[in-house]
């Protein structure tokens, strides 16, 4: 098809300039935005006031955690839903599980998963969409609940003291950069060997050797994960509540005791290619190879809210994934579609130019960040109005480390919640447990990984 050439003319530019300067509101907006920035100029104080604190259902947590300069939000959110059980069981003031420990195993397992994908696509063109996608970000920090569940089932958890943070866990950029470079080199070597006629057994031997070197790189950056450790937990009254020697698997069973397989991922993607009421998975997305990938049930966002509210009412927090930077006053910790009136600032629809489905379809929105719902404020009719959120950006972020989400923002930008399957209807549970999952392309927006910092 011949390209339709339509150059901008001097007349076009002159008309645009004249129309801009003719409106007083444009000049006021120009002065405000050029001096303060878009969000500061578009901030709506009345909407900010509506996000005042006060919740009908609230799940108290421990001290706020900080993922620092890493994309481990999904790990922090997962561990924060788990540590509450330990805090309650032993009457602790606060408690923190090691975030460096699952980081080590996730990088190792993702590396093995990546090399498996490389071997599985040896005959695909290296510049084709699939291989290019696989090479783009082989071991990034991001992840999904199902991937974290796989790590815990295989490796357990440990207290933060048993594997503390390092320079490379607090800021993962250098480690990720060098590991990515090494793995791309591995992909090159495996493909070259295949082209030279090397057989499957020898390629598998090369893969094992490569994984030994990945282990060495990770151990250098993060230290080796403990096979066992001493534990001494003291309760709020300084009495010894738990002591002994544990493996990470034993510690999870004893101190957390969460039935991981009872928790399921619900997504809400209202696009035509994903009818509600069906199970989905994402091709080539995962980390622990023997545990498979991810599994979702796609439901209307109202169902995600219903399940989240019921779990909160049972005094349990809720892992969720969202597009965090949309309509977000980060310094104030407020996510609210009414808090920023960008469209009024510019005088035409910018934020309002697409609906939820269109934003997903045209690459404007996807899940970028995972956090924990720990409270909700209800209206007179019992419907949610405001959600309280535990973030993982430290106690100095937002309001003492937590944010709020308006219910309207939830409607637009929350894409996933993880809940106990007992909150599903019988029909929803049956579909999740029995239906053969429909396979989404690796680059589908529902394959996005929570990774924002």
pLDDT at 284: 97
Report the distance separating Cα 330 and Cα 324, nearest Å.
9
Report the distance separating Cα 263 and Cα 85, nearest Å.
15
Whole-model pTM? 0.95
pLDDT-derived band at 263 (thresholds 50, 70, 90) equals very high
**Among this protein's residues, is 80 annotated catalytic?**
no
Report the distance separating Cα 45 and Cα 134, nearest Å.
44
- Mean pLDDT in residue range 406-420: 98
% of the chain at pLDDT higher than 90: 94
pLDDT at 101: 98
Model pLDDT for residues 11-33, shown as the tens digit of each residue: 999 999 999 999 999 999 999 99
Closest CA to 264 of 110, 423, 374: 423
Is residue 453 predicted with pLDDT exceeding 80? no
The pair of three-digit structure tokens given for residue 115, joined into one six-digit string: 């090399």
Is residue 343 predicted with pLDDT exceeding 80? yes
Report the distance separating Cα 398 and Cα 394, nearest Å.
9
Q: What is the mean pLDDT of the chain?
A: 96
DSSP string, 144-184: -HHHHHHHHHHH---BGGGS---HHHHB-HHHHHHHHHHHH
pLDDT-derived band at 2 (thresholds 50, 70, 90) equals confident
Residue matched to tokens 């089932």: 153
Residue matched to tokens 């706020």: 64
Q: Which of 80, 168, 322, 369 is catalytic?
A: 369
Report the distance separating Cα 134 and Cα 282, nearest Å.
13
Model pLDDT for residues 51-79, shown as the tens digit of each residue: 888 899 999 888 999 999 999 999 999 99
Q: Which of 65, 73, 158, 168 is catalytic?
A: 73
**Among this protein's residues, is 26 annotated catalytic?**
no
pLDDT at 50: 86
- Residue 296's SS3 state is strand
pLDDT at 400: 87
Cβ atoms within 10 A of the Cβ of 23, count? 11
Report the distance separating Cα 126 and Cα 188, nearest Å.
9
pLDDT at 31: 96
The pair of three-digit structure tokens given for residue 383, joined into one six-digit string: 């419907």
Report the distance separating Cα 444 and Cα 267, nearest Å.
13
Which residues, other chains included, contact 247 with Cβ-Cβ below 8 Å and sequence gap of 6+?
Answer: 156, 227, 228
Model pLDDT for residues 163-197, shown as the tens digit of each residue: 999 999 999 999 999 999 999 999 999 999 999 99
**Among this protein's residues, is 73 annotated catalytic?**
yes
Is residue 240 predicted with pLDDT exceeding 90? yes
Q: Which of 80, 112, 298, 391 is catalytic?
A: 391
């Amino acid at each position: 098809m011949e390209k339709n050439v339509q150059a901008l003319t001097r007349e076009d530019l002159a008309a645009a300039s004249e129309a801009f300067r003719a409106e007083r509101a444009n000049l006021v907006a120009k002065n405000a935005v050029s001096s303060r920035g878009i969000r500061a100029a578009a901030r709506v104080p009345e909407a900010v006031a509506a996000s005042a604190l006060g919740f009908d259902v609230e799940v108290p947590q421990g001290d706020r955690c900080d993922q620092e300069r890493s994309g481990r939000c999904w790990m922090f959110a997962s561990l924060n839903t788990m540590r509450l059980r330990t805090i309650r069981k032993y009457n602790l003031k606060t408690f923190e599980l090691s975030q460096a420990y699952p980081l080590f195993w996730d990088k190792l397992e993702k590396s093995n998963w990546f090399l498996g994908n490389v071997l599985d696509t040896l005959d695909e063109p290296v510049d084709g969409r699939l291989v290019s996608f696989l090479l783009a970000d082989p071991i990034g920090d991001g992840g999904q609940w199902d991937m974290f569940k796989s790590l815990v089932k295989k490796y357990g958890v440990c207290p933060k003291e048993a594997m503390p943070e390092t320079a490379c866990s607090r800021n993962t950029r250098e480690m990720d950069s060098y590991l990515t470079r090494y793995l791309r080199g591995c992909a090159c070597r495996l493909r070259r060997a295949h082209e030279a006629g090397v057989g499957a057994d020898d390629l598998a031997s090369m893969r094992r050797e490569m994984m030994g070197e990945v282990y060495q790189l990770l151990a250098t950056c993060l230290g080796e994960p403990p096979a066992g450790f001493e534990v001494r937990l003291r309760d709020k009254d300084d009495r010894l509540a738990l002591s002994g020697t544990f493996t990470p698997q034993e510690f999870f069973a004893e101190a957390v005791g969460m039935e991981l397989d009872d928790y399921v991922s619900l997504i809400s993607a209202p696009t035509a290619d994903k009818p509600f009421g069906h199970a989905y998975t994402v091709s080539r997305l995962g980390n622990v190879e023997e545990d498979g990938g991810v599994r979702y049930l796609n439901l209307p966002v109202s169902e995600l809210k219903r399940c989240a509210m019921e779990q909160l009412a049972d005094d349990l927090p809720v892992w969720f994934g969202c597009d965090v930077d949309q309509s977000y006053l980060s310094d104030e910790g407020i996510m609210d579609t009414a808090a920023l009136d960008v469209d009024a600032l510019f005088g035409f629809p910018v934020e309002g130019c697409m609906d939820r489905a269109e934003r997903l379809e045209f690459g404007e929105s996807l899940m970028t960040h995972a956090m924990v719902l720990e409270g909700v404020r209800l209206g007179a009719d019992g419907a949610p109005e405001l959600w309280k959120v535990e973030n993982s950006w430290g106690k100095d972020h937002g309001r003492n480390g937590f944010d709020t989400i308006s219910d309207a923002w939830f409607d637009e930008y929350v894409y996933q919640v993880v809940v106990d399957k007992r909150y599903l209807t019988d029909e929803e549970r049956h579909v999740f447990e029995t239906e053969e999952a429909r396979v989404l392309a690796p680059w589908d927006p529902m394959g996005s990984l929570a990774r924002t910092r």
